[in-house]
Structure 1
């Protein structure tokens, strides 16, 4: 089994579990937080729904720069959340192809302008996104 095949299998399994979890997010609890310093349910679930897209982003870019503008998707219901997840999931799955195996050792950088937070091989970034 190649690394891409392994990641693809893991991605599909994780996608099934994530889909189940996100489908159970109640529409009337978006502001819930277990503690005053905890993240609210809406941004937390949006982050979880976005994670499969990191696989796509890692294969198709060499960095993420927090200094660049980011458009937050409009999520107002569980249905919106699941639709966003399905889009990000499809994007990620579409890049887990045999021809992308050669990209796994290439560097990928997380930065904010000139400040570099992380620079790792793409394989490590993908492994982090899948865990």
Structure 2
């Protein structure tokens, strides 16, 4: 029951993320709001990467970021970021579909080289916070990036100022 709810939200939100990533023109990829921020390409690539964490989060009780490896590929073109997103989304969907709800209350923790980064918590809390909400946060940032670079923003939960009424 919980798995079906997570999967339904995942599929709906993956479609929204896809629309947002497809709205990024190559001309905006190098833009960033300040020296402290990522470029649009780096932010979009991170959004795609979050989907790469589903398999380890759903199927393991520990994720050690100290040994984590991820090949983001060539992020100089938006189409490459979208291709990586599609690859990661397909794998993430399989991870949800193949997950066992009996493990959702297992204690989960994130390490970096053996040191705890976050306090241990139930896996379902990590799924909602670390995977889902974390992604929504970065999508909001990306919307601001699109607006700041003069690009249209697709509606995710209804029309935006760019939509004709």
Unaligned stretches of 5+ residues in structure 2: 134-165
Unaligned stretches of 5+ residues in structure 1: none
Partner of 2:110, secondary structure, is strand
Larger radius of gyration: 2
Q: Is it true that 1:126 corresponds to 2:127 in the alignment? A: yes
Give the Cα–Cα distance (whole angstroms) in 1 for the partners of residues 27 and 110 of structure 2.
Answer: 34
- Deviation track 1:25-45 (CA, whole Å, cap 9, x = no partner) reads 121222211122222112111
Conserved? CA contact 1:63–1:109, under 8 Å: yes
Give the Cα–Cα distance (whole angstroms) in 1 for the partners of residues 47 and 22 of structure 2.
Answer: 12
Shift of 1:51: 1.8
Conserved? CA contact 1:105–1:123, under 8 Å: yes
Give the Cα–Cα distance (whole angstroms) in 2 for the partners of residues 69 and 8 of structure 1.
Answer: 25
Q: Which runs of 4 or more aligned residues in structure 1 lie more than 6 Å from their structure 2 counterparts after TM superposition?
A: none
Which one has a larger percent strand, Structure 1 or Structure 2? 1
Shift of 1:70: 1.8
Shift of 1:62: 2.2
Give the Cα–Cα distance (whole angstroms) in 1 for the partners of residues 29 and 98 of structure 2.
Answer: 39
Partner residue of 2:51? 52
Give the Cα–Cα distance (whole angstroms) in 2 for the partners of residues 127 and 100 of structure 1.
Answer: 16
RMSD (CA atoms): 1.7
Higher relative contact order (CA 8 A, sep 6+): 1
Give the Cα–Cα distance (whole angstroms) in 2 for the partners of residues 80 and 74 of structure 1.
Answer: 8
TM-score, reference length from structure 2? 0.72
Partner of 1:96, secondary structure, is helix
In the comparison of the two structures, how many residue pairs are matched? Answer: 130
- Deviation track 1:2-22 (CA, whole Å, cap 9, x = no partner) reads 110110000001101000001
Give the Cα–Cα distance (whole angstroms) in 1 for the partners of residues 99 and 85 of structure 2.
Answer: 25
Shift of 1:99: 5.3
